[in-house]
Amino acid sequence: MRFGLCTLLQLTPLRGTQSRSGSGGKNFGPDQNFILAKRGFCCSLTDFYQAMFTGTYTAIVTPFANGQLDEAALERLIKFQIKGGVDGIVPVGTTGESPTVNYEEHIKIIALSVKFAAHKVKVLAGTGGNSTTEAIYLTQEAEKAGADGSLQVAPYYNKPTQEGLYQHFKAIAKATTLPIVLYSIPGRCGVEIAVDTVKRLAHDCKNIVGIKEAGGTCDRVSQLRAVLGSKFEIMSGDDSLTLPFMSVGANGVISVASNVIPKEVSQMVNYFARGDAKKAYQLHARFYPLFKDLFIETNPTPVKAALAMMKMINEEYRLPLVPMNPKNWDVLRTTLKRCDVLD
């Protein structure tokens, strides 16, 4: 069984296990497998990474050059993620500027992401929308392109009722064989996917396997875990809340910061997953200023600025997004230097 690891749990070695390779090429020996001794949950670290979508997933940016998709830069970014040890990438989510790419570009970005990932990391494609028909179309195209799963954001602007949300996600789930991760982010969508709605969907739609939770509270993660059990995957949607969320049952993070520091975010999640809360906290404390300043302006503007400072992409956006305020740009650059991301 899978369960987010809490610092309060007593961890003991799981004897008799053999070294196996989990997702992302991580190898764990007998001394790195544990069981959850409380609440009757039994979970090895290998099982944690063999879960469908757990660990560190990068909500990857979409690089542009002269107004067009920069394919060479996208390949460079994905190779950087693979080298950094992430478990997967999420193309064309909010961080990937999905609202400003057309259908053809959207599908092309997913297809290229699958190609460049080359089965070394999973591809959880952002294919949500506030039109059910649109979301179904994009999800089916992502399936054809070879994506490993679909991230489905709550419909934004039209603010459906909970029954409307249920019917929306159920229709998408019926239209694909891809595993689906829901995405609740009321700050952007104006509506939250209620715990009871998530429970209904998980029960009625076998390919709805998880949720990206960006509601900002550990209480909600606790509520989700309580009603959904250990097998439903919960991913933090906020870098600064990854460890608090994991302490009450989350399985990892869909991260913005890992665009810039994939190795460090992966290490932080890995340390906590195997019960080394001290090392995980040290990384959290070191990079917390960066976690915050990557949201000093609307995402993905700061993270694209940071990647441009690292000379990995052009600092280019599509309207209505614009370059950062110069003062905020300076604050971000200073933070990147203090965190040893820039020289």
**What are the tokens at 338?**
């203090």
Q: CA angle at residue 96 from 92 to 99, to 5 degrees?
A: 75
In 3D space, the residue among 248, 221, 234 whose CA is nearest the CA of residue 182 turns out to be 234
Q: Which one is catalytic: 122, 212, 304, 317?
A: 212
Residue 183 annotated to the active site: yes
Question: Does the pLDDT at position 18 exceed 90?
Answer: no
Q: Give the tens place of pLDDT for each residue, 96-139.
A: 999 999 999 999 999 999 999 999 999 999 999 999 999 999 99
Share of the chain above pLDDT 90, in %: 84
Residue for token pair 């179309």:
137
pTM given for the model: 0.86
Contact between 237 and 214 (Cβ < 8 Å)? yes
The answer, yes or no, to whether the previous bond of 320 is cis (omega within 30 of 0) is yes
**Is residue 49 among the annotated active site residues?**
no
Tokens at 199, concatenated: 């429970």
pLDDT higher at 100 or 27: 100
**Comparing 1 with 318, which gets the higher pLDDT?**
318
Query: Is pLDDT at 14 greater than 80 in this prediction?
Result: no
**pLDDT tens digit string along 168-178?**
999 999 999 99
Q: Which pLDDT does position 52 carry in this prediction?
A: 80
Q: In the chain, what percentage of residues exceed pLDDT 70? A: 85
Please check whether residue 184 is in contact with residue 162, taking contact to mean a CB–CB distance below 8 angstroms.
no
| Per-residue pLDDT at 51 | 58
Locus of tokens 């960006």: 214
**Cα separation, 141 vs 138, whole angstroms:** 5
d(CA 230, CA 65): 44
Catalytic residue of the set 49, 57, 183, 271: 183
| Residue 29 token pair | 């020996």
Is residue 260 within 8 A of residue 269, CB to CB? The reply is: no
Nearest to 103 by CA among 133, 147, 137: 137
Q: Does residue 15 surpass a pLDDT of 90? A: no
Closest CA to 189 of 222, 153, 221: 153
Average pLDDT value over all residues in the chain: 88
Please give the Cα distance from 155 to 48 (Å, whole number): 30
Are 285 and 315 a contacting pair, CB within 8 Å?
no
Overall fold of domain 48-285: TIM Barrel (3.20.20)
Q: Is the pLDDT score of 156 beyond 90? A: yes
Residue 33 has pLDDT above 80, yes or no: no
